[in-house]
Structure 1
Amino acid sequence: MASGFRDKWARVREGKAPRVLDLFSGCGGLTLGFVSAGCASIGGIEIDRDASRSHALNFHPQKDGSPDERHAWPKDILKLPPRELLKELEARSAEKGVDLIVGGPPCPAYTRVGRAKLREVYRDPRAFKNDPRATLYVQYLEYVRALKPLALVMENVPEILNWGGHNLGEEICESLEDMGYRCAYTLLNAANHGVPQMRERFFLMAIHHTVGGEPAFPKPTRKVLFPPGYKGTRNFALHNVLRDGQGKEGSRYVHPPVPDEDAPPPVTAQQALADLPPLLDHTRGLDRRGPRSLDGDLSYGETPPSDYALFMRRWPRFSSDSRLRDHVTRCLTERDYRLFAKMAPGDDYPKAHALATSLFDKEVERLRRAESSPCEGTREYEQLRASFIPPYNPGKFPNKWRKMESDAPARTLMAHLGKDTYSHIHYDSEQKRVISVREAARLQSFPDGFRFSGKMNAAFRQVGNSVPPLLAWAIADDLLRCLGAAGRVPFRDPSHALGTSVPARVA
């Protein structure tokens, strides 16, 4: 068995591209980071049809640009034995075997947020423990056991460290150590690594003892002052991990590396998006409801690109062809256009609701003076009210809406983007709209040349479910360094030139 690991390690040290398999791959955020760092994609396992096709479209295209159907079909990890999958994916490959496994088992069972999750727990307080998605990490471990990679990376939400009072990170490490791996896990925030989004996630790295290296996580290239809410989420996740601020004895948890004191500030939303062409209401079809197709028929905007935006245009192997794809967004109501134009940066739903109520009262007063105001309680009055005030209770949905700040990174993009994008209202009040698919991709650090399969909602969902590729590249860089990979492509923060020694404002 050890000789198999040594053969793989020798191959990687000789300069051959490490062969990476992505479990629960989604459209391929982790894959993109590892491929950019010098790895070769074997394929991905993903049950969602559109996401699986996106992964094949970007990493396993045919000569005509269409996805290789051997990779594009959706795959259920519960029904697909490791060796059977590998035989299928390697059918046309001269190289064999898996050097690295990466992936993030679905996180809905662990996360605390979301209306559906709250309703589920209300009906059954133990529902989150009974969710079958909570045990998919077992299949991940079975693939590791069967395919014997040199190393692996697992990603998930921070709450995996405090799931029903259990630290699943430790339990996963114990299983991996029984297989001969050295393990460590931590929490990393994407904004610290050049991504224009404050997205905190759990990362676990394991290296087989045959290799001899110790897991290590990338040092931040950015200094960020995070809002108080991020500290609360982290404290909840680390409740069973830390004692007196230190890792419990025997814990595999390591504190995240810290940036240099003079590290530049985070990449802001404006630096990420300002070069994209504006989308105004009643133009470019924004007044049309219905499914939106993804297209590539736009030119870039007139604003010169920042260093970050330029890198998104020129990402190696995923550069733009000078025409912008996927810059499509949702049709809104006149009520929402009106509100978005008047909301201040950082405003959430309660503030938007209060603003809407004020605008409605002014309109009623105007109509009263004109002696045309409908009587309260009538159908006409309720219709007028609905045309000004959104229906959601501001006490129950404080985070449903939020207008981004131009001079700060965006807040966390969620898979719920596939249903609505009101959590990310564009900072430009003249555009008075929610973000587009391409803007969501930019905030997640997907390059402009990355393709998404499916319609608009499916693309939003794929972006929200992804690991930011820039962060994945930074993690891959450290891992490949530990492995002594001769073909490693070092990570480089694409926008250091934007920074100063003073952190950007984060509301």
Structure 2
Amino acid sequence: MTTAEQQQIRRGKVERLRTGAQPRVLEVCSGAGGLSLGLLAAGFELTAHVEVDPEAAESYALNFGPDKELDDPWSIARNMERCSAEDLVRDLGLSTTACGSFDILAAGLPCQAFARIGRSKLRAVAGEDDAFQKDPRAALYRRFLEYVADTQPLVIIIENVPDILNFGGHNVPEEICDTLEEAGYRTAYTILNAAYYGVPQVRERLFVVAIADVLGCTPSFPEPTHFLELPRGYEGSRRVALKHVDMESGRFHEIHKPRRQLPKAVGVRAALGDLPKIKEHLTDSRAIRRRRLDDVLDYRTPKGGLSGYAKLMRNWPGFETVHGTGGHLVRLTPRDFPIFRRLAHGADYPQARRLAEELFTDAVKRKKLTDSESPAWLELRQAMVPPYDPDKFPNKWWKMDPLKPSRTLTAHMGKDTYSHIHYDSYQARTVSVREAARLQSFPDGFRFAGAMNAAFRQIGNAVPPLLGLAVAKSLKRQIDEALAPAEETDGRQVA
């Protein structure tokens, strides 16, 4: 496709949007739909998505499909490697010309797809040379560029981890921007922290935004709405990630720092305080084992009333709840319940291990076990003391501080939730699926397909919807301003 043909297609999209049509979104590697929630709330039309994980795709169908049912083919899992943008356009009944397809292309591509891709290799993926075509690590990015070519979007959004700024010793977003600028886009990238945008979680994410030249504007990023002093360690991680940023290229957008006058970042208690107390595991684990992921439990009214964040999670447009919500499954780890109860807020694994050793020593004395080689002594220790080396796993456990945002949720929560121990010592457990969803800013009406582990994985993999909304609202404003007609003076149009 020639540059002139590309410009013609993009101008056609601009004209369609000027008629008042909603911008159409195609999201690849969508996951369960965290970014989609933000895009939808900002006024974009969710036309199609691509997601290979069947449980994440089923969650997407439950929440965004027509009438939120599972019988519409657009919302079922598709493999990016096997599904072309042309296939999606045809299946949806859109025009087969690119100007009749998608306006926004969003992607949360796995960071592994970018490993060791240098400038020459990335250009090879883009089609200038076929020397790098067979490397499987580049497959997703190669397909992504094909989606760009097939749909000629007006706006591109890419989300990833900050480490992609220093991946194999080079800056991958800079390479991405270089390639997209050659294709007729204006680009920018930066790091956004979810806690700065009302999410009760300290989560750093890299965003790349590209806007087609035809719109005539350079991408910008949303200003923070909440204040937080970043916990120790995050500034150091940023410095490592930013080591290879070329400040002179003009593509890296200075990281917004929140003003102290802004509302404080949302703390964990404000985020979770109205959700049901889960304590059955302490007396009768069978009650928890019988519970299903979609079983609804009633809300409760915390002391001091309902927080603004809780109200938002209950009343997100299209996902409203009234009396209660589902997702109240937790991991059953009886060995550790006494440790969870006694652990201080903000404490991590070394402190938990010391506490376990103290509890074990007391139990040994009570049982009068004097032989540390006896089966009884060894069995008791196994039943009470976690086996992990504190020096090797210092951050494996963490008890949340009720007044502060949580640590970053990860996909590993599908296997282990010890990184998010509930702040309420009376409940003595790790977070439930719904609590993890709240910490990620998923509204209470959002449903997750699959079993507990799959739900945790989907939540940990997601873009926080409130962060997605902040980015989407900023982009919608930029698009609307670019589409606005020129002002008129004395009957004449002026720029």
TM bucket, shorter chain:
0.7 to 0.9
What SS does the corresponding residue of 1:202 show, helix, strand or coil?
A: strand
Distance 2:93 2:380 in 1: 62
Unaligned runs of 5+ in 1: 112-129, 489-507
Paired letter, 1:142? E
Q: Which residue of 2 aligns with 1:142?
A: 146
Distance 2:343 2:15 in 1: 58
Q: Shift of residue 134 of structure 1?
A: 6.0
Distance 2:153 2:253 in 1: 23
Q: Shift of residue 103 of structure 1?
A: 1.4
Contact 2:364 2:377 (8 Å CA) reproduced: no
Q: What are the equivalent positions in structure 2 for 1:325-474 lying under 5 Å apart?
A: 325-333=326-334, 335-368=335-368, 373=369, 375-474=371-470
Change (3 A) 1:281 1:85: same
Unaligned runs of 5+ in 2: 116-133, 485-495
Contact 2:194 2:201 (8 Å CA) reproduced: yes
Distance 1:367 1:44 in 2: 60
Distance 1:461 1:286 in 2: 23
1:224 aligns with 2:228: yes
1:207 aligns with 2:211: yes
Contact 2:330 2:433 (8 Å CA) reproduced: yes
Paired letter, 2:171? N
1:42 aligns with 2:47: yes
Q: What are the equivalent positions in structure 2 for 1:106-121 lying under 5 Å apart?
A: 106-107=110-111
Paired letter, 2:325? L
Corresponding residue to 1:60 among 41, 62, 65: 65
Note the alpha carbon deviations across 1:348-368, whole angstroms, 9 max, x for none.
111101110111112212222
Which structure has more helix as a fraction of its residues? 2
Change (3 A) 1:90 1:445: farther
1:322 aligns with 2:323: yes
Deviates more, 1:29-38 or 1:356-365: 356-365
Change (3 A) 1:291 1:97: farther
Distance 1:291 1:140 in 2: 43
Distance 1:428 1:485 in 2: 47
Q: Shift of residue 5 of structure 1?
A: 1.3
What SS does the corresponding residue of 1:102 show, helix, strand or coil?
A: strand
Distance 1:67 1:364 in 2: 56
What SS does the corresponding residue of 2:47 show, helix, strand or coil?
A: strand
What SS does the corresponding residue of 2:73 show, helix, strand or coil?
A: helix
Paired letter, 2:356? A
Q: Which has the higher contact order (CA 8 A, sep 6+)?
A: 1
What SS does the corresponding residue of 2:244 show, helix, strand or coil?
A: coil
Corresponding residue to 1:25 among 13, 18, 30: 30
Contact 1:107 1:134 (8 Å CA) reproduced: no
Distance 1:180 1:400 in 2: 45
Distance 1:164 1:465 in 2: 23
Distance 1:423 1:482 in 2: 38
What SS does the corresponding residue of 1:84 show, helix, strand or coil?
A: helix
Contact 1:28 1:55 (8 Å CA) reproduced: yes
Q: Which residue of 1 aligns with 2:306?
A: 305
Change (3 A) 1:484 1:5: same
Contact 2:49 2:75 (8 Å CA) reproduced: no
Deviates more, 1:178-187 or 1:323-332: 323-332
Q: Shift of residue 486 of structure 1?
A: 10
Deviates more, 1:51-60 or 1:401-410: 51-60
Q: Shift of residue 25 of structure 1?
A: 0.1
Change (3 A) 1:50 1:99: same
Q: Which residue of 2 aligns with 1:10?
A: 15
Paired letter, 1:81? S
Q: Shift of residue 401 of structure 1?
A: 0.9
* Normalised TM-score (structure 1): 0.85
* Normalised TM-score (structure 2): 0.87
Contact 1:291 1:455 (8 Å CA) reproduced: no
Contact 2:211 2:218 (8 Å CA) reproduced: yes
Q: Which residue of 2 aligns with 1:126?
A: none
RMSD: 2.4
Q: Shift of residue 421 of structure 1?
A: 0.7
What SS does the corresponding residue of 2:472 show, helix, strand or coil?
A: helix
1:262 aligns with 2:265: no
Matched positions, count? 457
Contact 2:274 2:300 (8 Å CA) reproduced: yes
1:293 aligns with 2:303: no
Change (3 A) 1:255 1:134: farther
Note the alpha carbon deviations across 1:182-216, whole angstroms, 9 max, x for none.
00000000000010000001000000000101100
Contact 1:277 1:302 (8 Å CA) reproduced: no
Contact 1:173 1:184 (8 Å CA) reproduced: yes
Distance 1:90 1:349 in 2: 54
Change (3 A) 1:4 1:60: same
Paired letter, 1:264? P
Q: Shift of residue 67 of structure 1?
A: 2.1
Corresponding residue to 2:90 among 67, 87, 90: 87
Q: Which residue of 1 aligns with 2:278?
A: 279
Contact 1:223 1:259 (8 Å CA) reproduced: yes
Q: Which residue of 2 aligns with 1:185?
A: 189
Change (3 A) 1:35 1:137: same
Distance 2:255 2:233 in 1: 18
Which of the pair has more CA radius of gyration? 2
Deviates more, 1:139-148 or 1:154-163: 139-148
Paired letter, 2:56? A
Paired letter, 1:85? L
Contact 1:292 1:455 (8 Å CA) reproduced: no
Contact 2:159 2:206 (8 Å CA) reproduced: yes
Distance 1:400 1:132 in 2: 32
What SS does the corresponding residue of 1:21 show, helix, strand or coil?
A: strand
